[in-house]
Amino acid sequence: DTLSCIEHTDSGLVTLIPVASEPGLEILNWKTFSWIAVEKIQSSSPLLCVLVGETLSFLTSYFFQATVHKVVY
């Protein structure tokens, strides 16, 4: 796999990403410190991946943690 976008968090409230039919987006599991691939499930409806941003983390006193994610292909 080639790293396309280094691991990072987004600065806004939330980021909405349409779930692609091809793999690539991965999010960090903080409990196991392993990467989880975001994969499309069988659905006739469009799917969105909702990532928590740094601003939402700050505004909720870190109740919601910013989502660490990266893109590989």
Per cent of the chain over pLDDT 70 is: 99
Q: What is the pTM of this model?
A: 0.84
| pLDDT mean over 19-35 | 90
Confidence label for 27 from pLDDT (cuts 50, 70 and 90): very high
Structure tokens at 5: 């976008």
State the Cα–Cα distance between residues 47 and 12, nearest whole angstrom. 21
pLDDT at 8: 96
Calculate ∠ Cα 7-10-16, nearest 5°: 105
